[in-house]
Structures are given as structure tokens and as C-alpha cells.
Structure 1
Amino acid sequence: MSREHKGSIIILGAALSILLTGCHTTPSGHSAQAGTESAASHADPQTQCLPPNASVTRYSPPELYLSAGQCLKQNRLDEAVFLFGTAGSEGRFDTHRVADVTAHQLASFMGVMFMKHVGEEAYGKFSAHMREQLKDDRARRAFCNRLSQLPPPVYHPQYMINHGMAAFTSVGDQQVLRPLEDPRQTWRASVNEYMDCKP
């Protein structure tokens, strides 16, 4: 393994520990409109179980994973599964728009860190409930359709940009985001990819 690759893994591991424990974090870069809406609703994903509605995609994956953890503490397993699926789909969505490919590993690592964050017992209960919810193709299609109908994420994916190698090595005015021709179509594709949706 190269020194650069080892460095990337160390950086990502440390970043996820910070992101998913809520230490020294602030809500990720929402758009101005989303920030206003969030302030108006007083919803704090780090301390609250967010309701499963269309507004969740204004929050970044780290925030949704934290909120899913709060849902587990309250034994609100349906909400936890919904937020977990949304967070994972958002991570895939962000790999399509963040230019630095070394930052894309974060999307996969966050799910692992969620498991460690909530603990083995809670994750086991959560995982069993999720398998039960998605145990057949019809149920999985319904869940996929529910996620696909959400609006595409509106936050700025700074959480991912910050944890790629380009954030430490790039100089000058370098493109950090790739423009998406059709964000809604990209979102649907991201949900299908993450949730392994059946046609």
C-alpha cells in the first residue's frame, strides 16, 4: 500500500470519527434557503430524530446518520431505516458531483462508522428491522420509490470535499464540484444504486 493511500485512509477514518460523534461539528453547508428553513423549524439532526418527510434531503449524510442514531435511542426504527437509506443515497449522489475521486470513499465509510457509533446491540436490532422491511422485492420497490420521490439534495457537500486528498494538496482555483445535467435523474440513479432497487 502506498504512503499516499495509507494517508488517505487515516485522514478519512479520523474525519468520520469526528463527523459521526458530533465533536466540533456544525450543520454542513446548507444553501441559504435551506439554512433559513432549518432555523425556522429548529430541527437539530444531531440531537433529534428527524421526521421522514421531503425536507430531509437538505441535511448532509453525516447529519442524517446522527439523526438515525437518535431515532434508535427512541426505538423509532422505521424513521431510522428511512434516514439511513436517505443518507446512503445522498452519499452516492455526492460521488457524482464531487470532483475529487479520493473523497468518494467517505460515502462507504460513513455506514461503517454509523454501526460503530450506535453500538453492536442497537445496530443488530436496527439491521434486523431493516431486513424485515425490505425482505421482498415489492417492499424494496416501495421503499426505493419513496426515496426516489424526495427532492435532490440541496446542501453543499463540503463534508466530502474536505476529506479528499485535493483538500490538502490542491492550489489555486480548482473545480471541486461537477455540474449535474439533471439532478433529479442523478438522485434517482443514486437511490437505485445504493438500495439495489429492482426494476
Structure 2
Amino acid sequence: MKKLAILLIGLSTLISKAEIVNYEMEGNLEASSPIGCISIDELKNTHTPADIFTGVQECVLKEDYAKAVDLYFVARTYGYFDTKRVTDKSSHQAVRVLLINTFSNIDGIKREKMSQNLKASFKENSLLCNKLEKIGKPNYYPRYMIQHGLNAFLGNADKSPLASPFDADKEWKASLQEYLKCHL
């Protein structure tokens, strides 16, 4: 028992002295055209989820939850679509990490208000579905997600980062139906 205690203390000392290093690839979760707290009508299909989550954060900080909710659902839907076209499954957590980064510096009260607004808005999403159909499917290269995956880190140049063949129209419609529950 005494040897176990000494071993655990030694292990604890090693862990406390360990240096944690975070490696990131250039472009990982990068917002190439960050937006502010704008209305969904001002969005373009060239805005990536990384761009849009900057607007979500700004809207929540300003307590403009209506805009924040719309932007949130667009970012999540675009991210859902991107997981269908990016082949490296390890990169698919990019939107979840963007979400964590977006809300990590927002106080609990505002996060709770945002959560309440999200729950209330998801039930009435037909207007959002119509607006997203009008904006259209994503029209950007999903670098923010590709650079988040292990293939980018390991330099797997022989692997295509995008699915081919890929029916973007079909997958966009599926994304609207599966993620947002749009009735198309």
C-alpha cells in the first residue's frame, strides 16, 4: 500500500509538471470574413460558420437574441452541410469547437437567455427555412473545417479533402431537412 501511495505521488508530480502543447494548422477554425451582429438578410452564402459565429457572439453580447438565433442556425446548418462534403471525419468537430469558442467568454445569464431563445425559435423555423433557401447552399471552400482535421495535420496529400462525386444540391436539401427539419 505504501509503494502504491509513493507511485501515485510520483505520478501526480509528473503530471503537474507536464507541459501541454496545442498544435494548430494554419486556417484551423479561421474566420476569413468575420461578420458583426447582422440580420440574416445581410448574410451571403460565402460566409463560413467560422465567419457567422463571430456575429452570433456579437449579437449575444448586445443581447440581440433574435439575430443571434438566426445566425446560429445558419452557421450550424452550413456546418452540417460541410460535414457531408469534407472527407476527414476528424475535422467534423470544427463546428462544435467554434460553438464552444463562441460562448466561452459570454456570461452565464446571456448564455441561458440564448438557450431559451434557441429552444423557442426551433419550433417555428419555417421562416428561417425560407430565408436559408433564398441565401442558398454554401459557396465557399470549407478550409476552416479541413484544417481542423488530422489529415491536414498529418499531411495526407494523397487524400482529397472534399467528397467526390458530391451532389451539392441534393446534400443542401438534405441538410435543410435533416438539421433544420424544413419541409421542402
Give the structure-2-normalised TM-score: 0.73
Please tell me the residue identity of whatever aligns with 1:83. Answer: L
Please tell me the residue identity of whatever aligns with 1:178. Answer: A
Q: CA deviation at 1:11?
A: 6.1
For structure 2, the 5+ residue unaligned runs are: 1-20
**Residue 62 of structure 2 is aligned to residue 74 of structure 1:** yes
Equivalent positions of 1:29-108 (< 5 A) are 44-45=34-35, 48-53=36-41, 55-108=43-96
Q: CA deviation at 1:91?
A: 0.8
In structure 2, the partner of 1:158 is 143
Please tell me the residue identity of whatever aligns with 1:95. Answer: T
| Number of residues of Structure 1 aligned to a counterpart in Structure 2 | 162
Of 147, 163, 171, the match for 2:132: 147
Identity %, equivalent residues? 27
In 1, Cα distance between the equivalents of 2:176 and 2:107?
Answer: 26
Going from structure 1 to structure 2, the CA distance change for 1:75 and 1:171 (only over 3 Å counts) comes to closer
SS state at 2:44 partner: helix
In 1, Cα distance between the equivalents of 2:43 and 2:180?
Answer: 20
In 2, Cα distance between the equivalents of 1:149 and 1:11?
Answer: 40
SS state at 2:179 partner: helix
**Residue 119 of structure 2 is aligned to residue 131 of structure 1:** yes
SS state at 2:32 partner: coil
Q: CA deviation at 1:187?
A: 1.7
In 2, Cα distance between the equivalents of 1:112 and 1:172?
Answer: 29
For structure 1, the 5+ residue unaligned runs are: 1-9, 20-24, 29-43
In 1, Cα distance between the equivalents of 2:112 and 2:42?
Answer: 27
Contact 1:140/1:198 (<8 A) preserved: no
Q: CA deviation at 1:95?
A: 0.7
Contact 1:89/1:195 (<8 A) preserved: yes
Query: Alpha-carbon deviations, 1:23-69, whole Å to 9, x = none?
Result: xx5516xxxxxxxxxxxxxxx51xx2122126332111111111111
Of 28, 32, 41, the match for 1:27: 32
SS state at 1:153 partner: coil
Going from structure 1 to structure 2, the CA distance change for 1:151 and 1:74 (only over 3 Å counts) comes to same
In 1, Cα distance between the equivalents of 2:106 and 2:141?
Answer: 26
Contact 2:31/2:51 (<8 A) preserved: no
Give the structure-1-normalised TM-score: 0.68
Q: CA deviation at 1:107?
A: 2.6
In structure 2, the partner of 1:174 is 159
Going from structure 1 to structure 2, the CA distance change for 1:64 and 1:173 (only over 3 Å counts) comes to same
In structure 2, the partner of 1:185 is 170
State the Cα RMSD in Å. 2.8
> Which protein is richer in helix relative to its size?
1
